[in-house]
Amino acid sequence: MSEAPRGQVVRVKRRHAPLVVIEIDGEQVEAFAGESVLVAVLAHRPALRHLEFSGEPRAGFCLMGACQDCWVEIEGVGGARACTTPVSAGLRVSTGWPRFG
Amino acid sequence: MAEARRVLIVGAGPAGVAAAAVLAAHRQRPFLIDEGHAPGGQVYRRASAPVALDIKALFGSQVGKYERLHATFAGLAGSVEHRPRTLAWAVHERAVHTLAEGKAEVHPYDALILATGATDRLLPVPGWTLPGAYALGGAQTLLKDQGCLIGRRVVFCGSSPLLHLVALQYQAAGGEVAAVVDTTTTGAKLAAAPVLAANGFATLLRGLSYMAALRCKGVRIHHGTRLVAIEGETHVTGLRFRDRRGNEHRVEADAVAIGFGLRAETQLAELGGARLRYDSVFRQWLPDVDADGRCAPGLYAAGDGCAIGGADAAEESGQLAAYAALADLGIAAPNARMARLRAHVARLRRFQRGLAKAFDWPHSWPMDMPDQVILCRCENVTLGEVRATLREDIPPADVNRAKAFTRCGMGRCQGRFCGLALGELMAAETGTAHERTGWLRAQAPVKPVPVSTAFPS
């Protein structure tokens, strides 16, 4: 349990949507169209973002759009709440600094 | 014929959908604003991800209510103007301000029914900002909405009847339940049992059956615990807690679900002109309403955002609020039915007040937590920083002053997850009555609105 998990969240239910390719910090990964950006990122990564003040990792908290602790940068959109934003093909997400150039 | 009245509803959970059904039955055409992609609220949420959920297995004995809400809503097609994925971010001068897909709109109303629901209620615990630590209700929402679990091996902790239900749902979905660490004593639960049995015997039995089912599956349930810390450096590795004898234990887990009951979403009611009153059982400020949910001219509140009462009370209080709105618009409402609804809602809410005692909010805990623990997740404000302010020559008199001094509660969540604990910390540290520390005043926008928003001119 001391090693960082590769991903934090676990998909346990069958998906009935196509796999699409998205980019997380420049890395291409597969995700299911229509699932949340939070799930798409946290299925691969242990964190979603880094706190503006201390840089410590955060991975969301309330999971229902209230705490605003899952904000990520989405190219062409800007800051977005990962837990309520659906995935679409070609989506590019940044989980920390530096942002997109 | 007179011009059609504008009746708005915010929130499409059980309260909002029930209100919409009553209004539609009286030939009104309510305008239903909801942040969700589909109706259901949190409790009867329909998955937004493309997942194959076994609704019967997930909702168990409550599946009929889930199906009824969605069937009711489907039957309203054409008689309700539904705006999903729409944020209501302010109520001002008898109009609701909304945002959807980058576009702002203003919707004036003759009557506004707020069915804004609740979030998890939280207390700061060392490590609660670590990746892998999630709000208890959120852990359940991730399963219902996305068909996902918050981790592989999960410990459920805090004080809530939801602990046992979500632990069972996780186990049924293939997750490993490390333990249920309940902070309330068995004694408190026994003391509340008569009130629970008198006001909701079937619900009480259902709750007990969840606990029994967990035990049958070999899950350890600890009662009367104190949470010491959620452990980990960059992510959760376990939970440390003390049992009722004071012995320390550690449970290995890669995720923690933590919650202490519910916290009403009251911001829009306050912005709309509702007075808030202090509730000494729930230890939070709730809209001051009459028996039907009236809280200001043309303004009504229903469901958990009005008084924590659970899904059944939400549904019936939504109907009551709709009847009250109709009556105030000069449309006859059924008096006998309203009287029955009032009595039943009151009974369901008495049950919830009993639950609040059975699953006690350990309100003095923030006082015993170390200085370095983060209280405000958004602005990274620690308990120690707030304590330092309280020791100043002229200390803040209420939570709003403490917010101004420390930025606690000033971040993007607007104090939803630190505000109640801030008041409790101030009360406990200074010996002030909790009621006198006040509530964090609602500010528009109640959730972030981008500056790139297209506002109507």
Q: Which residues have C-beta within 8 Å of that of residue A37, sequence separation ≥ 6?
A: A72, A74, A80, A82, A83, A85, A86, A87, A91, A93
Cis peptide before A98 (omega within 30 of 0): yes
Q: Nearest chain B Cα to A16, which residue? A: B50
d(CA A37, nearest CA chain B) in Å? 10
DSSP string, B218-279: T--EE-S-EEEEEE-SSS--EEEEE-TTS-EEEEE-SEEEEE-SEEE--HHHHHTTPPEEEE
Average pLDDT over residues A18-29: 96
**For residue B132, which residues of chain A lie inside 8 Å, CB to CB?**
5, 8, 46, 59
B contact test, residue of A10, A44, A51 with most B CBs within 10 A: A10
A contact test, residue of B37, B42, B51, B234 with most A CBs within 10 A: B51
Whether A41 and chain B come into contact, CB under 8 Å, resolves to no
Whether A28 and chain B come into contact, CB under 8 Å, resolves to no
**For residue B150, which residues of chain A lie inside 8 Å, CB to CB?**
8-9, 63
**For residue B149, which residues of chain A lie inside 8 Å, CB to CB?**
9-10, 12
The beta-carbon neighbor of A61 closest among B265, B377, B448 is: B377
Q: Please indicate whether, in this complex, the C-beta atoms of A67 and B255 are within 8 angstroms of each other.
A: no
Radius of gyration of chain B (CA): 22
pTM for the structure as a whole = 0.96
d(CA A91, nearest CA chain B) in Å? 16
Which of B413, B423, B417 is closest to B367 using CA atoms? Answer: B423
**For residue B49, which residues of chain A lie inside 8 Å, CB to CB?**
15, 17, 32, 34-36, 39, 86
Whether B250 and chain A come into contact, CB under 8 Å, resolves to no
- Which amino acid makes up residue A57? P
Would you say B235 and B134 are in contact if contact means Cβ atoms under 8 Å apart?
Answer: no
Q: Please indicate whether, in this complex, the C-beta atoms of A8 and B235 are within 8 angstroms of each other.
A: yes
What pLDDT, in 10s, does the model give residues B30-81? 999 999 999 999 999 999 999 999 999 999 999 999 999 999 999 999 999 9
DSSP string, B194-227: HHHHHHHHHHHHHHHHHHHHHHHTT--EE-S-EE
Q: Please indicate whether, in this complex, the C-beta atoms of B234 and A2 are within 8 angstroms of each other.
A: no
A74-79 long-range contacts, CB within 8 A, separation 24+: A74/A37, A75/A100, A78/B450, A78/B452, A79/B450
Run of H or E including B99 = strand B95-100
Interface A:B, Cβ pairs < 8 A? 166
For the record, the structure tokens of B289 come out as 């309403």
Whether B35 and chain A come into contact, CB under 8 Å, resolves to yes
Q: Please indicate whether, in this complex, the C-beta atoms of B50 and A16 are within 8 angstroms of each other.
A: yes
pLDDT-derived band at A13 (thresholds 50, 70, 90) equals very high
Phi, psi of B202 (to 5 degrees): -65, -40
What residues in chain B have per-residue pLDDT under 70? 1-3
Phi, psi of A32 (to 5 degrees): -90, 130
Radius of gyration of chain A (CA): 13
pLDDT the model gives residue A101: 40
Q: Nearest chain B Cα to A87, which residue? A: B49
pLDDT-derived band at A96 (thresholds 50, 70, 90) equals confident
In this predicted complex, what is the ipTM?
0.95
Helix, strand, coil percentages for chain A (3-state, nearest 5): 10, 30, 60
Whether A68 and chain B come into contact, CB under 8 Å, resolves to yes
C-alpha span between B240 and A60 (Å, rounded): 22
The beta-carbon neighbor of B134 closest among A15, A61, A66 is: A61
C-alpha span between B261 and B256 (Å, rounded): 16
pLDDT-derived band at A97 (thresholds 50, 70, 90) equals low
Whose structure tokens read 């995720």? Answer: B255
pLDDT the model gives residue B3: 59
For the record, the structure tokens of B268 come out as 């829009």
pLDDT the model gives residue A3: 47
d(CA A41, nearest CA chain B) in Å? 13
Q: What angle do CA A90, A96, A99 make, to 5 degrees?
A: 65
Whether B38 and chain A come into contact, CB under 8 Å, resolves to no
Q: Nearest chain B Cα to A81, which residue? A: B448
Q: What are the domain boundaries of chain A?
A: 19-94
CATH number of A19-94: 3.10.20.740
